[in-house]
Amino acid sequence: MLGAAASRRTRAPLWSLVAVVTCACSSTARPPVTPAAGHHPAAANVMRGYATWYAESQQTASGERFDRRAMTAAHRSLAFGTRVRVTNEKNGLSAVVRINDRGPFGNAARIIDLSEAAGRALHMIDAGVVPVLLEVVGR
């Protein structure tokens, strides 16, 4: 019986030591995050999703008259005037467009609506919807 009591006594301090170590390690301070090798600061300005194209609209959200022959696009949140390189991931073609409208609305996977001219440049007119890579290139 003495052995069992001694065993219980040694377990209690061991569990309290684990609790102290666990509490000491769970502080809210976090080490600074350093960029990984090859990390580029502009990587935050890269998005993947689907693009559609549109050819009919009267006026854009920026107040410009819509021109289906211009290299423009609609995005939900990028500032008007932002220039974005859009790359069709199916064929590798890319084009730089200027954001001048809001959209696309409805399907969350769709991240950009392109003018007809931009859609033609990416050879996506027949497909209608294609996977794309967006890279913000400037304002």
What superfamily would CATH give domain 44-138?
RlpA-like domain (2.40.40.10)
Q: How far is CA 100 from CA 6, 16, 31, 114, 118, in A?
A: 77, 62, 40, 10, 13
Phi, psi of 52, rounded to the nearest 5 degrees: -125, 170
Q: Looking at residue 79, what is its pLDDT?
A: 96
pLDDT of residue 98: 98
- pLDDT tens, per residue, the chain with 139 residues: 555 555 444 454 544 444 443 344 433 433 333 333 343 444 558 999 999 999 888 899 999 999 999 999 999 999 999 999 999 999 999 999 999 999 999 899 999 999 999 999 999 999 999 999 999 999 8
The pTM of the whole model exceeds 0.85: no
Rounded CA gap, 19 and 24, in Å? 9
What is the per-residue pLDDT for 3?
Answer: 54
pLDDT at 134: 97
Other C-beta atoms lying within 10 Å of the C-beta of residue 74: 24
